[in-house]
């Protein structure tokens, strides 16, 4: 089955974290999440949920790696959190070892992924966050490559369940 772009809506940072947690539970070694969205759209907030869903106990460890460029968290699989905001481009990303990490056995999450399109693998899950109002965000999820179809399918199911 072909899945296009799915849209979810959250009405608070907590809801975005919960959404991320559901997504994180579905992720496996080698998965790559490309996050797109303006400043304050909620990318890092979503990452907090994703890492929690991947088994990291303390999500307070999650901060935008704007200055350190990359953070690593130990969940049930290693998680690598990139932030391309301050990078000049693809070469800067490669200089921090992105190629090896992204093609490795962890989960890679890249904020501002649209700034470094050349660093993305052939298949990845693209998540676009858009502010609708102060506390509302639209979360677009798109499977770029067939290997995320199952993740999307399950995400639809778990989000249609009653809490
Ligand atoms: N529904 C929501 N989802 C996510 N964040 C929300 C929501 N409503 C309000 N917020 C607030 O918006 C802000 C989002 O900040 P966050 O650091 O996650 O954005 P970001 O996209 O990572 O920004 P940056 O590009 O600066 O790294 C937080 O202060 C959060 O509390
Ligand atoms: Mg951020």
Q: Ligand 1 center to residue 129 CA distance, Å?
A: 9
Alpha carbon nearest to ligand 1 atom 17, residue: 44
Please check whether residue 79 lies inside any domain of the structure. yes
Contact 130, 138 (CB under 8 A): yes
Please check whether residue 58 lies inside any domain of the structure. yes
Determine phi and psi for 123, rounding to 5 degrees.
Answer: -120, 135
Please check whether residue 1 lies inside any domain of the structure. no
| DSSP letters spanning 80-143 | EEEE-TT--SHHHHHHTTHHHHHTTTSEEEEETGGG-GGGS-SSEEEEEEEESSSS-EEEEEEE
Contact 63, 44 (CB under 8 A): yes
Residue range(s) defining the domain that contains residue 89:
31-146
pLDDT in tens, 115-144: 999 999 999 999 999 999 999 999 999 999
Ligand number, closest to the Cα atom of 8:
1
Please check whether residue 157 lies inside any domain of the structure. no
pLDDT in tens, 37-78: 999 999 999 999 999 999 998 888 888 776 777 899 999 999
Please check whether residue 163 lies inside any domain of the structure. no
Could you tell me the pTM of the whole model?
Answer: 0.94
Contact 21, 49 (CB under 8 A): yes
Residue 60 maps to which CATH number? 3.40.50.300
Q: Ligand 2 center to residue 160 CA distance, Å?
A: 27
Please check whether residue 52 lies inside any domain of the structure. yes
Please check whether residue 15 lies inside any domain of the structure. no
Query: 29-33, 56-60, 61-65, 79-83: lowest mean pLDDT where?
Result: 61-65
What are the pocket residues of ligand 1 if the criterion is a CB atom closer than 6 Å to any ligand atom? Answer: 10-13, 15-16, 37, 39-45, 64, 111, 135-137
Please check whether residue 125 lies inside any domain of the structure. yes
Q: Ligand 2 center to residue 1 CA distance, Å?
A: 33
Q: Ligand 2 center to residue 2 CA distance, Å?
A: 30
Q: Ligand 2 center to residue 141 CA distance, Å?
A: 18
Determine phi and psi for 132, rounding to 5 degrees.
Answer: -100, -40
Per-residue model confidence (pLDDT) at position 162: 55
Which atom of ligand 1 lies closest to the CA of 10? 1
How many domains does the chain divide into?
1
Pocket residue to mutate for ligand 1, from 45, 110, 115, most atoms within 8 A of Cβ: 45
Residue 64 burial (CB count, 10 A): 15
């Amino acid at each position: 089955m072909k899945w296009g772009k799915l849209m979810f809506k959250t009405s608070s940072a907590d809801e975005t974290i919960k959404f991320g947690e559901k997504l994180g539970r579905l992720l496996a070694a080698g998965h790559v999440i490309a996050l797109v969205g303006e400043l304050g759209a909620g990318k890092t907030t979503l990452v907090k949920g994703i890492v929690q869903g991947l088994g990291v106990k303390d999500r307070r460890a999650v901060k935008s790696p704007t200055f350190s460029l990359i953070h690593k968290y130990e969940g049930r699989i290693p998680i690598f959190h990139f932030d391309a905001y301050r990078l000049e481009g693809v070469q800067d990303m490669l200089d921090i070892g992105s190629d090896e990490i992204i093609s490795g056995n962890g989960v890679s999450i890249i904020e501002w992924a649209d700034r470094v399109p050349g660093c993305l693998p052939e298949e990845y899950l693209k998540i676009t966050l858009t502010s609708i109002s102060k506390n509302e965000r639209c979360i677009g999820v798109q499977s770029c490559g067939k290997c995320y179809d199952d993740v999307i399918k399950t995400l639809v199911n778990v989000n249609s369940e009653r809490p």
